[in-house]
């Protein structure tokens, strides 16, 4: 699979008109390749002083409005995005010698969209979201498990678990999307869509 993509490369003529359609094509190929968790992506943020932070999250939806993930708004990433909405996303698809790098601005999704996704999750994950003040310092593992037990008793299996107030989705609206295809002799293909006032411009970057 990797050798196939390396030899066929990525050409301007075959690119979709916009990065969302191109993302959809590559995402489908990543899924078909069988690589583990193709929707896992790195989210890079920066605090107002420019200190970067990065971590994996799962992509839970995408369309022409952007790329959506869910998290705790009070987490480090949540706080950083609230203060500085510029983010970068990286899909690290090494088994097929590809990566996609997205840059843009993140904003909160509507509460209805968060609620619909939250209630589609397993009961244990819903309780886990309540039990975790994500990114704050815990005294011990026991303290975290006790928090889970207390909340599980409050919201037993079968009852509707409300959405935690600090939990929800972010949608990243892209202004640049780079499709990177590994090639022989390090002459990789890098095609980048850049948002312009009247549509998307495509440019090729040196590898
Ligand atoms: C494969 C993978 C998927 C993850 N998905 C999510 C996710 O969708 N949302 C989330 O908040 N954390 C997710 N995490 C945990 C984050 O990487 C991170 O530890 C957590 O969100 C706290 O990050 P922060 O302190 O930088 O805000 C995932 C971790 C891995 C390894």
With a cut of 90, say whether residue 7 has pLDDT above it: no
Active site residue: 183, 186, 195, 196, which one? 186
The residue whose CA has the least distance to atom 13 of ligand 1 is 57
For residue 64, which of 105, 23, 100, 34 has the smallest C-alpha distance?
23
With a cut of 90, say whether residue 120 has pLDDT above it: yes
Q: Is 50 left (phi over 0), alpha (psi -120 to 50) or beta?
A: left
**Residue 99, annotated as binding a ligand:** yes
Question: Is 38 in the same domain as 130?
Answer: no
Q: What is the pLDDT of residue 127?
A: 97
The predicted-structure confidence for 81-118, as pLDDT tens digits, reads as follows 999 999 999 999 999 999 999 999 999 999 999 999 99
User: Does the active-site annotation cover 186?
Assistant: yes
Domain that holds residue 155: 120-162
Residue 151, SS3 per DSSP: helix
Average pLDDT of span 182-196: 96
Q: What angle do CA 175, 180, 185 make, to 5 degrees?
A: 150
Average pLDDT of span 62-80: 98
Question: Is 22 in the same domain as 88?
Answer: yes
Probe residue for ligand 1, chosen from 44, 47, 56 as the CB with the greatest number of ligand atoms within 8 Å: 56
Question: Is 86 in the same domain as 176?
Answer: yes
Two structure tokens written together for 6: 């390396």
Question: Is 110 in the same domain as 139?
Answer: no
d(CA 164, CA 185): 50
**Residue 108, annotated as binding a ligand:** no
Question: Is 134 in the same domain as 98?
Answer: no
Helix (H), strand (E) counts: the chain: 6, 9
With a cut of 90, say whether residue 133 has pLDDT above it: yes
Give the confidence band of 1 by pLDDT, cuts at 50, 70, 90. Answer: confident
Question: Is 90 in the same domain as 22?
Answer: yes
Residue 22 Cα to ligand 1 midpoint, Å, equals: 26
Average pLDDT of span 186-207: 97
Question: Is 106 in the same domain as 174?
Answer: yes
For residue 184, which of 162, 161, 204, 207 has the smallest C-alpha distance?
207
Question: Is 92 in the same domain as 106?
Answer: yes
Give the confidence band of 153 by pLDDT, cuts at 50, 70, 90. Answer: very high
Q: What is the pLDDT of residue 57?
A: 98
**Residue 86, annotated as binding a ligand:** no
Domain count, the chain: 2
Give the confidence band of 3 by pLDDT, cuts at 50, 70, 90. Answer: confident
Indicate if ligand 1 lies below 6 Å from the C-beta of 75: yes
Give the confidence band of 158 by pLDDT, cuts at 50, 70, 90. Answer: very high
Please give the C-alpha separations between residue 96 and each of 81, 93, 137, in angstroms, as whole numbers.
31, 6, 38
Q: What is the pLDDT of residue 118?
A: 98
Q: What is the CATH number of the domain that holds 20?
A: 2.30.110.10
Average pLDDT of span 117-136: 96
d(CA 31, CA 39): 9
Probe residue for ligand 1, chosen from 38, 53, 57 as the CB with the greatest number of ligand atoms within 8 Å: 57
Mean of the per-residue pLDDT values for the chain? 97
- Which helix (H) or strand (E) element contains residue 71? strand 66-72
Question: Is 37 in the same domain as 8?
Answer: yes
User: What ligand 1 atom has the least distance to the C-alpha of 56?
Assistant: 17
Question: Is 95 in the same domain as 80?
Answer: yes
Residue 183 Cα to ligand 1 midpoint, Å, equals: 31
Q: What is the pLDDT of residue 27?
A: 98
Question: Is 52 in the same domain as 153?
Answer: no
With a cut of 90, say whether residue 143 has pLDDT above it: yes
Indicate if ligand 1 lies below 6 Å from the C-beta of 181: no
Average pLDDT of span 63-80: 98
**pTM, 2 dp:** 0.96
């Amino acid at each position: 699979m990797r050798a196939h993509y390396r030899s066929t490369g990525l050409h301007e003529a075959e690119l979709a008109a916009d990065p969302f359609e191109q993302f959809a094509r590559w995402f489908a190929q990543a899924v078909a390749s069988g690589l583990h968790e193709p929707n896992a992506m790195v989210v890079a943020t920066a605090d107002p002083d420019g200190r970067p932070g990065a971590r994996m999250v799962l992509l839970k939806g995408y369309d022409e409005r952007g790329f959506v993930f869910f998290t705790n708004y009070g987490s480090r990433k949540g706080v950083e995005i609230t203060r500085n909405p510029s983010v970068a996303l990286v899909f690290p698809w090494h088994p097929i010698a590809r990566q996609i790098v997205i840059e843009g601005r993140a904003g909160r999704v509507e509460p209805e969209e968060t609620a619909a996704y939250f209630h589609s999750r397993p009961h244990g994950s819903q309780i886990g979201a309540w039990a975790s003040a994500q990114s704050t310092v815990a005294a011990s593992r026991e303290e975290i498990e006790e928090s889970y037990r207390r909340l599980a008793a409050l919201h037993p299996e079968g009852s509707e678990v409300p959405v935690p107030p600090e939990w929800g989705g972010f949608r990243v609206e892209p202004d640049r999307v780079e499709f990177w295809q590994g090639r022989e002799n390090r002459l990789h293909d890098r095609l980048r869509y850049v948002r312009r006032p009247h549509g998307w411009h495509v440019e090729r970057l040196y590898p």
